[in-house]
Structure 1
């Protein structure tokens, strides 16, 4: 499904004379296909008819199987771009996209706490992004400047 959608979107852009690298469209398509609709809950706590992130679905099924229970069954659901952007775990990321007042009101009512895992929400609050040297594993690394003679000999 992902390959088909990527190919069709690319063909539409190419007809207009626009060249876009596949990786950009693949990221969007992956987000659009990230949710599943639960059909049978099995021995999990997921409710039939609910939309669940694919990773949560897989984790819950794994737990059910480890405990000797039956896994849930679900069908992958294609969300529109707007719904996919609003269906993120981060309410800050969702609020920056569309329906800001609704997203923030819902987050306040549900007493949500944003885990600040993604790049977007960290940029919004002005925090170091969790990528490259902004990652936690690099916080305690000290840099040592190279000697001036080493740089000249490297050329």
Structure 2
């Protein structure tokens, strides 16, 4: 659900990427306690992540052709009108990805596009001061947070601090 995706993106829940040989299910959500318990029981036999990195990996691992076949089968077996509508919309979306040649993981930005300076100019004001575009401030904050995150990772900072910095990005 949308709420589940938000919980992963805002670092509230882990999502299982690869269950390995564990009883965990792919794409299932884990709280911090459940994750720590699973790590204690299974070690590194499974992969669970948080944030956009996790969503990107799940989208990358999707097999669209297999998903189309599965959705068509579910539509044939469907008896509920609302479920049929939902499945049809989902099928249309997946087929659009296949037909366009775009990959679902491309919806998650891994690099930030930066507008050229001419499109975010400094405007001189009375009194010798300048007005800058809000974009300049946003870029500055992203760069500062990214540098801080890089430094925290180099220092092997506690996971909760790194997670908070990633969430701020």
TM range (shorter): under 0.3
Of Structure 1 and Structure 2, the greater helix share is in: 2
Instruction: Give TM-score scaled by structure 1 length.
Output: 0.23
Instruction: Give TM-score scaled by structure 2 length.
Output: 0.22
